[in-house]
Structure 1
Amino acid sequence: MLARLALLFVVVPAVELALLYWLAGYIGVWTEIALIVATGMAGAALAKYQGAATWRRLRADAAAGKMPADAAIDGVLILIAGAFLLTPGLLTDVAGFSLLIPGLRRQIKRLAAGYLRGRVSMSVASFVPPQSRPDVVVVEPNRIDADSADDDKTRPET
Structure 2
Amino acid sequence: MAAIFLLWVIAEIAAIWAVASLIGFLATLGLLLAGALVGSWLARREGGKAARAVMDTARAGRSPHNEVTDGMLVGLGGLLIFVPGFVSDVAGLALLLPPTRTLVRRAWLKRLERRGPVTPRGFGGGLHRSGRVIVVDSEVVDTSRDDRRDPPQRPVIESE
Bin for the TM-score computed over the shorter chain: 0.7 to 0.9
Which of 89, 92, 108 in structure 1 is aligned with 2:85? 89
- Identity %, equivalent residues: 26
Q: 1:114-133 maps to which residues of 2 (within 5 A)?
A: 114-121=110-117, 124-126=129-131, 128-130=132-134
Residue in structure 2 matched with residue 48 of structure 1 by the alignment: 44
Tell me what 2:20 maps to.
Answer: 24
1 CA distance for matches of 2:3 and 2:27?
A: 31
Query: Which runs of 5 or more structure 1 residues have no equivalent in the other structure?
Result: 132-140, 144-158
Q: Any runs of at least 4 consecutive aligned residues in structure 1 with deviations exceeding 4 A, and if so which?
A: none
For each residue in 1:67-120, what CA deviation from the matched residue of structure 2 results, as whole angstroms up to 9, or x when unmatched? 111110000000000011111111111111111121111111111111111113
Q: State the aligned residue count.
A: 129
Distance (Å, rounded) in 2 between the aligned partners of 1:94 and 1:48: 17
Q: Distance in 1 between matches of 2:67 and 2:2?
A: 29
Q: 1:26 & 1:109 partners in 2: Cα distance?
A: 35
Q: Is 2:3 the counterpart of 1:6?
A: yes
Distance in 2 of aligned mates of 1:22 and 1:75: 33
SS of the counterpart of 2:91? helix
Taking CA–CA contacts closer than 8 Å with sequence separation of 6 or more, which of the two structures ends up with the larger relative contact order? 1
Partner of 2:149: none
Paired letter, 1:84: L
Counterparts of 1:67 and 1:55 in 2: how far apart (Å)?
Answer: 14
Q: Distance in 2 between matches of 1:70 and 1:104?
A: 14
Give the TM-score normalised by the residue count of structure 1: 0.74
Could you say which structure has the larger radius of gyration? 1
Which protein has the bigger strand share?
Answer: 2
1:105-116 to structure 2, matched below 5 A, reads 105-116=101-112
TM (normalized to structure 2)? Answer: 0.74
**Cα distance, 1:121 vs structure 2:** 3.5
